[in-house]
Structures are given as C-alpha cells and as structure tokens.
Structure 1
Amino acid sequence: MMSTVPQTPCVGRPRAFDADDALAKALEVFWRKGFEGTSLTDLTQAMGINKPSLYAAFGNKEQLFLKAIELYEQRPCAFFYPSLEKETAYQVVESMLLGAATSLVDENQPHGCLIVQGALACSEAGQAIKETLITRRRDGEQALCERLQRAKDEGDLPADADPLLLARYVGTVLQGMAVQATNGICPGELRKVAEIVLANFPKNKG
C-alpha cells in the first residue's frame, strides 16, 4: 500500500533514521561543546546522518540547538522546574540544590548545564542563541521568585525575606555549581556547597 504525502509535490523515501534518537545525540554534542564549539560535521557524525537530512528534519544549526534545549529541559533528571512543586520554600531550594549536586556531575551525561554554559560568549552570528539562553535563565529566576513570593505571602518565609534577592542568590549558586561541575569537582563537594546555602536559608520562626 502506498502512503501519500499531500504537502509535497513528490513522495521521497522515508527517513532512514530515528529523529528522536538523532536529536538526543545532537543534544549531547551541544552539551559537551557549546553552540559555537559544535560544527555541522560534529553533529552529522554524532547523529549518523548527512547534512541534507539534518536540514530536512531539523532546519539549520540554530533551529536544531533550540530543539535540543527543549529536549534538555524535558529530561527525566531535570530538577529545576519540578522542584517548584515542593511544599515549602526550603524544600523547593533543597530540591534544586541537591538535584544540581547530583545531576550536574552525573557520569552518564556531560557535566555542567547547557542552559548556563551553552553560549556564554558568542560571535555576532550566535547572538540570538546567547539571548535565548539568557531569557531561559531569567525565566527560571522569575519562576523561583514567584514561588518564593507565594511562600512569603503564606507565612512560609519570614516577613523580611526578599523573594527576588533569594531567587537571584539561589540562581547564582546553581550557575556556579554548573561551572564547578565542568571543572571536575566531585559530587560530595558540590553537596557541601548546597548544604552551606541550606543552612543559611531563611525560615519562618513560627
């Protein structure tokens, strides 16, 4: 039985690769090398496809990177946004920091954080990607700020707590932990960093 593809004037052969698997392989390359450090040859070799197939399935390198970012944030081990669902502000931050201490140095994946390190410094050509990652980080900070503000409104944080400052503090620590992870710090040392932050995290005295 022939299948038809009405959107195109001619029916080509079906793709001889698994797009989800290819995207996962592209994600790993971007994660290890960053956006600008990754070449099209790096991608096609890792994905097991040629350049025309890459363009047909994913668009250009920038579009592929953005798809990889979406996949990155949906990983089962992603810890930031799921942590926002914890019952208390302390548990939210504890889940984030301890999740980072484990995930950022997981031996089964590249170390560090793609959202933090994927495009810290870019040429003019990569500026849009850099801005996209800046926006993602700011979105995370805003989401944490809103969660901490709710905690303050509910009496879960002290009345003098500053949700925005706390969110920036936690975000700064998480980003620093990501850099340390790529420096080869061991999981136990990252956990100690998390524990120092948690020991000083403001709690409702009631």
Structure 2
Amino acid sequence: MGRNREFDMDQALEAALCVFWSKGYEGASYTDLTQATGVERPALYSAFGNKEALFRLVLARYYEHYLDYFPEALEQPTSREVVAKILYAAAELHTRYKDRKGCLGIHGALAGSDEVEPIRRALIDARADGEASLHARFERAKQEGDLPENANAAVLAAYVMTVLHGMAVQARADFSREMLEAIAEQALSTWPSGKSI
C-alpha cells in the first residue's frame, strides 16, 4: 500500500514556480526546489516526475494564475484597449515581486545547454500561441473597422509581443513599473486607428 503524500501539491507547485521564475530552468537546482517546496527529492520525483515535467506543470500554472490578463485582454472592445490591458498588466506583473522580476516565460530558458532544448522550444511555442491569438484578434479588428484595412495584423501582433518581451527583460534589469508603463504608453501613442484617413 502506497504512502499518502504528506505535503500540499498546490503549495509545492507554487513554491517551485517561484524558484523557476527567479532562477530560470537551468539555474534552478534540485536543492533549490526541495528547499523551497519543503519536499525531499524522491517525493518530488514521485509527485511531479523529473525536473522538465515539474517545469511544464509550473508553466501551465503560471499561464493560468499569472497571465490570466492576456485572454481577458483579447475581449476588450478595441485593439488599442487590448494592447493597453496587456502592456499595463505586464508592467504590474513584471515588477510585482522583488525576488522574481520579469516573466517566467521569457527568463525560463532564454539560453541554455542542449539538454534544455525541449523547455526552450515549449516556451517559444507558448509565446507563439499568444502571438497567434493577438494576430486573430487584430484581424477581427480590421473586419470591424477598428484597424485600417491596410494594417498588417501579423506585424502588429509581433510588435506587441516584442514590446512585451522587451519589458520583461528590462524589468529583470530593475526598470521600475513607472518606466515600463511609460514604455507602454509610448507604444500605444502610435497605435493605428480605423478612423484615420
């Protein structure tokens, strides 16, 4: 008969998330993870699988609990409001915690050894999904007359993601929330309007 787990899985996942967010995938050691979760390595393996499997669970949790503003933003009535919600929410999130600035999805595996290629690829795919959602939303904005007919929805989506990712990098370099919000405002100041001639 198997032993019952003596720890809260949800709390352990959140603790692991904090470690990965702070140190990145390769930078997070098993010692870091066991100390943060309070769970010994065998029990951690048993509950979550290997480090890659744990990171994938953490990443799903991050998107669900911390990036929930992104799908909400896609429901805004105008493309400009979509972008404003994304950029301002990101500025807040990137600077919310002193011990883990920036974005887990960006800093998780910016660079690394060949062994982390599956994680790097998973993060790239997740970012591509976000960009595809924006692209589709901007195509809809064109159809609704909110964006000019000649607006390139793919380029606009890539532009927003580039600003978003740059903000995450700069937050890691100690840019303040105010500075990130000023960057967001600058990006929004040139947003195209369907009403323009």
Instruction: Kindly report structure 1 stretches of 4+ aligned residues shifted beyond 4 Å.
Output: none
Structure 1 residue ranges without an equivalent (≥5): 1-10
Which residue of 176, 185, 195 corresponds with 1:195?
185
Query: What is the DSSP-based 3-state SS (H/G/I as helix, E as strand, rest coil) of the residue aligned with 1:104?
Result: helix
What is residue 101 of structure 2 aligned with on the other side? 111
Distance 1:190 1:57 in 2: 38
Tell me what 2:131 maps to: 141
The number of aligned residues is 196
TM-score, scaled to structure 1:
0.92
Is 2:32 the partner of 1:60?
no
Task: Give the distance between the partners of 1:108 and 1:121, measured in 2 at CA.
Answer: 23
Q: Compare CA radii of gyration and give the structure with the larger one.
A: 1
Q: 2:85 aligns to what SS in structure 1?
A: helix
Does residue 176 of structure 1 match 2:166? yes
Task: For 1:144 and 1:155, locate their aligned partners in 2 and report how far apart those are by CA, in whole Å.
Answer: 16
Report the Cα distance in structure 2 between the residues aligned to 1:109 and 1:98, rounded to whole angstroms.
Answer: 20
Corresponding residue number in structure 2 for 1:33: 23
Q: Which residue of 2 aligns with 1:83?
A: 73
| Contact 2:139–2:153 (Cα < 8 Å) also in 1 | yes
Give the letter for the 1:19 counterpart: M
TM-score, normalised relative to structure 2: 0.96
How much is the aligned-residue C-alpha RMSD, in angstroms? 1.3
CA deviations over 1:32-90 (Å, ceiling 9, x no partner): 00000011111011110111100110000000000000000011563222211111111
Corresponding residue of 2:194: 204
CA distance in 2, matches of 1:60, 1:114: 19
Q: Which consecutive residues of structure 2, in runs of 5 or more, have no partner in the other structure? A: none
Q: Residues 142 and 151 of structure 2 are in contact (CA less than 8 Å); yes or no, is this contact kept in structure 1?
A: yes
Amino acid at match of 2:74: L
Deviation, 1:205, is 1.2
SS in 2 for 1:32: helix
Instruction: Name the structure with the higher helix share.
Output: 2
1:126 counterpart = 2:136? no
Q: Percent identity?
A: 46
Given the alignment, which residue of 83, 86, 90 partners 1:93?
A: 83
Rounded to whole Å, the distance in 2 between the matches of 1:16 and 1:94 is 44
User: Within 1, Cα distance between the matches of 2:72 and 2:6?
Assistant: 35
The Cα shift of 1:109 comes to: 6.3
